[in-house]
Structure 1
Amino acid sequence: MRNLRSRSSRNKEGLSGRSCRNDFISQMPDELLLMILDLLPTKDAVATSSLSTRWRFVWCSLNVFDFDGEKSLENMEDDSTVLLINEQTKFINQVNGVIQRHNLPTVQYFRIRFDLSMVYIQEIDHWLQFALDKKVEILELDLMQKSCMPRENPHENYDFPLPLSNRRMRHFYKWPSSDDIVLEMLSLYRLELYGVSVTEPTLKGFLKGAPCLEVLSIYGSHLSTHLHVGGSDNNLKHLKLVQCSGVKFISLCNFDLESFIHVGKFVEYHFDDLPKLTDLKVGGVSVGLEDNVFSQVSCCVSSLQVLHLDIIDGPEEILDTDSVPKLPNVKKLTLIIRATQDDSLLDYTSIAKACPILETFEIWLYWFSLAKRRRKVRRTASHCHKHLKLLKVEGYYGRISDLELVVYVMENAIALQNIVIDPSCLYSREGLTAANKLKVEQQARSSAKRQLQPIVPQGVELTIK
């Protein structure tokens, strides 16, 4: 027994000594250790303080904070309100405990991701003030519900504040005019808001108070009915609005915007003097005879290089082909089309015909009906696409209307190199179960192979996912 204990003791000493001598990571300077911690979730980075005295306070000098509670939300029951409140309390305590011990004057990146409503306004205000005091450059507030869906009652959203010092005062006094509302964020470069309400005065205020802000993204939020962004002193380059309720009119004027994305219900657009706008994605738009989107964005069509249209018109609507302007610089075109009753979709190719240097053509087909018709393949007027190299069709189901679109490109794109067919069911009104959806997609994949493989041109690679 004595020999065994002695051997065990020697092994422990030997391992311990060898571990100390070979612990190259702990011997690194703080700068390198911080680079390692920056790659970890904030919760894990803080946990390294328990490794040894060497690691105890290293995390306190982090300038990247990512408080991501998504995993906690995923593990919760859908209807457990009590559990949600407990997790919210734990999350709030964790964030407070970390930021109280931070000892650097600046923070580069600060992110909060958890299901938090207006109930927790004081805590969120405190975190926001911390980030602004630390001259944050990238700020993300993701306060969406654990279902990742916008709240039914937008008044439950956290309200992105006026200057935080005015938060209490505005409950007792009249709000100041928009010219007086300035939330200073002098170092802020990128701001992303999820499940956060933003009023028109507040939006103007933080754009005015954030001269370095170039990227603004707002998701699942409640906005003012009329949204106006512009002015030569505006430095914003990229604006993204996704599933934002309330807004009905968007005006963008007189600044160097480079990309604009709007996904959601139909709104009216007014664009003017946007000379650098090259990337445009708009949803819920019409290309029919009324409310044609091209007339609303006509000032910027000559500068566009990437165009993505989510079209609400069905194929039974009359497409005003004469209203489609020349799009001389568009290289990538994406069309989301509602496919119903197997009606021909060839009229939409007039948008592609308006792009003389088009290289990539993507078509997303939403399955509003799984009906098929037995009819001949229709053809439209030929048009030589000299530069088109890639056609991608998502939601290919195998209807004649789907086939017509692919045949059109095969016959008119002389430089075509790749056709990518994805039979995934993007949407269906028919309430498919997961098993039925998989079965339908398998049938669509078989139809694509049967229809397209015999006719694909030589030298063109066909990929069916």
Structure 2
Amino acid sequence: MGRSGSKSAKALDFGDRISGLPDELLHHVMSFLPARDAVRTCVLSPRWRYLWASARHLNVDTEGFTTQRTFKKIVTALLLSRGYTPLDSFCLDADVPGFYLENFRDTAYLWICHALRSNVHTLSITDHDRNDAFIEFQDFEDDPDAFQIDHCPFTSSYLKRLHLCGVFILECFLKKLFSGCPALEDLDIINCVIHDTEFSSATLKNLSIDFDSFPSCEMYGFKNIVINMPSLVSLHIGAFLGALPSLVNVQSLRTASICLDDQGATFADGCNILGALSNVKNLELLFLYGVSGRYSLQSDMQLCQVSFTNLTTLSVSDWCLHDNCKALLYMLEHSPNLEELTLKMRKLRLHEYIDSSCSAAAADSAAPFNCEKLRKVEIVCPKGDKTVGMLVQYC
């Protein structure tokens, strides 16, 4: 019996196979861990003792720390220990109460500079979700504790992707960013206070600007924006209030998603927007609330006589249904290569948009349009919305 047990134990003893994996795979495993836990792997075996110091992904997260002093001490020691070993990504996440970046901004600036000097390719900086707390920071330029990303010297020929969330962006930062980081291709700006107007880059390919948790953005100076990016391929603007950005020199744009909060959005030049979007293949154009923007955009659409010859996928909300679906019919008429159409409906009374007494006549009198390639129409609506049947019948 003892012999049999010994044999079974031997069969189950596979040894430390994980430590036998190549450094690249072990570093990949570490990339899913917070930086502090990655350092703790040094106790697993002699093979792991210094492996963390050459990890190419660092996730610095305030969660789990009890004091700012401990957090700063550990992160600073970690960066000093690894030196300027090249980094693929550096993520600084300070979304825990009491650990906001403005509370130790000078140290945070040093960490960001260290990452840039380590030739980081992807840099992510997240301060706390300000939302209603922004009311307290309306005069943030006079607030000595405000974490202003402008104070970091963004100079790197290696940085390709930058993600900013909940930070303050002052005037001229973007100009310094684009000139100092010529390889930058992807820029995400989420819930940030922006006091800059020039989005001008020859290399940027993907731009995302989102305000999904703001009660209002116009009061924070995000207005009169000019986007001048000849290499831009993908553009996302979410939950936007204020004057819609002016799109200049965006002929490479292929995918655009624009979601407007019509309670505050203004349309000084709808023709500019529609003309800039005329070459895209995939377009999403939504309104969250209100009616003013849809009237303006529909009017500009008919005034400018824009065609969407490359458009294959279109997603719109109920704004295009106003006045017996004139905007929708216009887009269908001027999108000969359209293959997929999605209508995203809010809970509404459809008779406010479509006059049933004249819908049949309107449909009969509508100019013919070529949608031979249209193969899929999807209507997304609240459950049980019976008015959708009216839309289906009309269309």
Report if the CA contact (8 A) 2:92-2:126 is conserved: yes
| Structure 2 Cα separation of the partners of residues 101 and 18 of structure 1 | 41
2:241 is aligned to 265
How many angstroms apart in 1 are the aligned matches of 2:132 and 2:313?
30
Q: Which residue of 2 aligns with 1:256?
A: 231
After superposition, residues 252-331 of structure 1 pair within 5 angstroms as 252-253=227-228, 255-263=230-238, 264-284=240-260, 291=267, 294-311=270-287, 314=291, 317=295, 319-320=298-299, 322-323=302-303, 325-331=306-312
1:214 aligns with 185
For residues 149 and 214 of structure 1, what CA distance do their matches in structure 2 show? 32
- SS at structure 2 position matched to 1:124: helix
Partner of 1:237: 205
- Partners of 2:5 and 2:168 in 1: CA distance: 61
How far apart in 2 are the matches of 1:399 and 1:406? 12
Q: C-alpha distance in 1, partners of 2:105/2:183? A: 26
**Matched letter for residue 373 of structure 2:** H
Q: CA, structure 1 residues 326+59, in 2 after alignment: closer, same or farther (shift >3 Å)? A: same
Point out the more displaced range, 370-379 or 310-319: 370-379
**Could you say what secondary structure the match of 2:197 adopts?**
strand
Deviation at 1:55, TM superposition (A): 1.7
Q: CA deviation at 1:138?
A: 0.4
Q: Is the 8 A contact 2:281 2:313 kept in 1?
A: yes
1:130 corresponds, among 107, 111, 114, to 114
CA distance in 2, matches of 1:35, 1:162: 32
CA deviation after TM superposition for structure 1 residue 258, in Å: 1.5
Deviation of 1:31 (Å)? 3.8
TM-superposed CA distance for 1:388, in Å, is 1.7
> What one-letter code is carried by the residue in structure 1 that aligns with 2:227?
L
Q: How far off is 1:105 after superposition?
A: 2.1
Which secondary structure does the structure 2 equivalent of 1:111 belong to?
A: strand
Task: Compute the displacement of 1:49 (Å).
Answer: 1.9
More helix by share: 2
**CA distance 1:215–1:29, shift in 2 (3 Å):** closer
TM-score (norm 1): 0.66
Counting only pairs closer than 5 Å after superposition, residues 319-358 of structure 1 correspond to structure 2 as 319-320=298-299, 322-323=302-303, 325-337=306-318, 346-349=325-328, 350-358=330-338
Partner of 1:158: 147
The TM-score normalised by the length of structure 2 is 0.77
Partner SS, residue 230 of structure 2 = coil
- Number of the residue aligned with 2:198: 228
Instruction: Give the 3 Å change call, closer, same or farther, for CA 391–364 of structure 1 in structure 2.
Output: same
Aligned to 1:52: 45
- Given residue 331 of structure 1, which amino acid in structure 2 is its aligned partner? T
User: Which letter does structure 2 place at the counterpart of 1:310?
Assistant: L
The 1:220/1:242 distance shift into structure 2, 3 A limit, reads same
**Residue 78 of structure 2 is aligned to residue 98 of structure 1:** yes
1:187 is aligned, of 158, 168, 185, to 158
Q: What letter matches 1:351 in structure 2?
A: M
What is the deviation of 1:69?
5.3
Q: CA deviation at 1:122?
A: 1.7
How far apart in 2 are the matches of 1:330 and 1:185?
37
AA aligned to 1:385 is C
In structure 2, the partner of 1:455 is: none
Q: Which residue of 1 aligns with 2:104?
A: 120
Which consecutive residues of structure 1, in runs of 5 or more, have no partner in the other structure? 1-6, 73-84, 165-182, 410-465
1:241 offset after TM fit, Å?
A: 1.2
| 2:37 paired with 1:67 | no
In the TM superposition, 1:351-370 aligns within 5 A as 351-367=331-347
Q: 1:114 to 1:389 in 2, by over 3 A?
A: farther
Letter in 2 for 1:227: T
Larger radius of gyration: 1
Kept after mapping to 1: 8 A contact 2:243/2:267: no
Question: How many angstroms apart in 1 are the aligned matches of 2:332 and 2:35?
Answer: 47
Give the length in aligned residue pairs. 360
State the distance in 2 between where 1:248 and 1:125 align: 28
| Letter matched to residue 49 of structure 2 | R
Counterpart CA distance in 1 for 2:87 and 2:285 is 38
Write the letter of the residue equivalent to 1:296: N
SS of alignment partner, residue 26 of structure 1: helix
3-state DSSP of counterpart to 1:249: coil
Q: 1:187 to 1:391 in 2, by over 3 A?
A: same
Give the alignment of 1:6-85 within 5 angstroms: 22-68=15-61
What RMSD in Å do the two structures reach over aligned CA positions? 3.7
* Distance in 2, Cα, partners of 1:141 & 1:160: 9
Per-residue CA deviation, residues 15-47 of structure 1 (Å, 9 max, x unaligned), is: 5x7777532222334344323333445444333
Offset, 1:332: 1.4
Q: Which runs of 5+ in 2 are unaligned?
A: 212-216
- Contact kept in structure 1, 2:345 and 2:379, CA below 8 Å: yes
| Superposition deviation, residue 298 in structure 1 | 4.6
- Structure 1 counterpart SS, 2:87: coil
Distance 1:157 1:42 in 2: 25
Percent sequence identity over matched residues? 20
The SS at the match of 1:297 is helix
Structure 1 match to 2:388: 402
The 8 Å contact of residues 144 and 150 in structure 1, kept in 2 or not, is answered as no
Local SS of the residue matching 1:110: strand
Partners of 2:271 and 2:194 in 1: how far apart? 24
Q: Which amino acid aligns with 1:326?
A: S
CA distance in 2, matches of 1:12, 1:372: 81
Aligned to 1:423: none
* 2:371 aligned residue: 385
